[in-house]
Amino acid sequence: MKKANLMTPSRITLLFISALLFWRCEGPIGPQGPPGADGLDGVNIVGEVFEIVGDFIPGSDFRLRGEYGFDLLESDKVLIYRLDGTDQEGTDIWRLIPQVVFHEEGIFTYDYDFTYFDYTIFLNGDFDLNNLEPALTDDQIFRVLIIPADRIDLRMDFSDHQGVLEMLEIDEEDIKRISLN
């Protein structure tokens, strides 16, 4: 039985002309997409970093609350670090919260939540927080880092405070301090 050759020169020519005609066709232009998040094409949104200082007191239910002064985007990530002392060379030690603390009275945490316009840092424990020493409640220093979605690398170790600052291109001297007392 004889097989037919489907790719004859005339069929190849017809296929080439058809492809050329379809390639040259243009349809109507679609609607313009929405503007970028900031409304400015080609402008990078940078991260924000600021420090807060406050006292956890019973009258505020052991909470520190503050506002950013600007709205966050739904895709932004908020990280908060607590200053937990200094090392032998005098370098600040920043710990990402939530941070679990084992105390002689029990276990408590420094924790936080946030919305798109404010944040709350709070203590949560399995014992009476009034029994905490002032070193754990008074003049506590935290850093709030807001990372735009386009700067988030999920492979990054967010517990590495210095690494996150470097990724955001933030210098220590540029960080503002706000007192919540």
Task: State percent of the chain over pLDDT 70.
Answer: 75
- Look up the pTM and report it: 0.71
pLDDT at 73: 83
Tell me which H or E stretch contains 162.
helix 161-168
pLDDT: which is higher, 29 or 81? 81
8 Å CB contact between 65 and 144: no
Nearest in space to 121 (alpha carbons), one of 41, 43, 48, 180: 180
What is the pLDDT averaged over residues 66-78? Answer: 85
In order of their start, the domains of the chain are 48-179 (2.60.40)
8 Å CB contact between 101 and 109: yes
Q: How far apart are CA 119 and CA 97, in angstroms?
A: 13
Q: How far apart are CA 121 and CA 174, in angstroms?
A: 23
Q: How far apart are CA 97 and CA 80, in angstroms?
A: 6
Report whether pLDDT(120) > 80: yes
- The pLDDT tens digits for 9-60 are 677 776 667 665 665 556 677 777 666 555 544 445 567 899 999 999 998 9
DSSP code per residue over 86-131: E-TTS-EEEEESSEEEEETTEEEEEEEEE-SSEEEEEEEESS-GGG
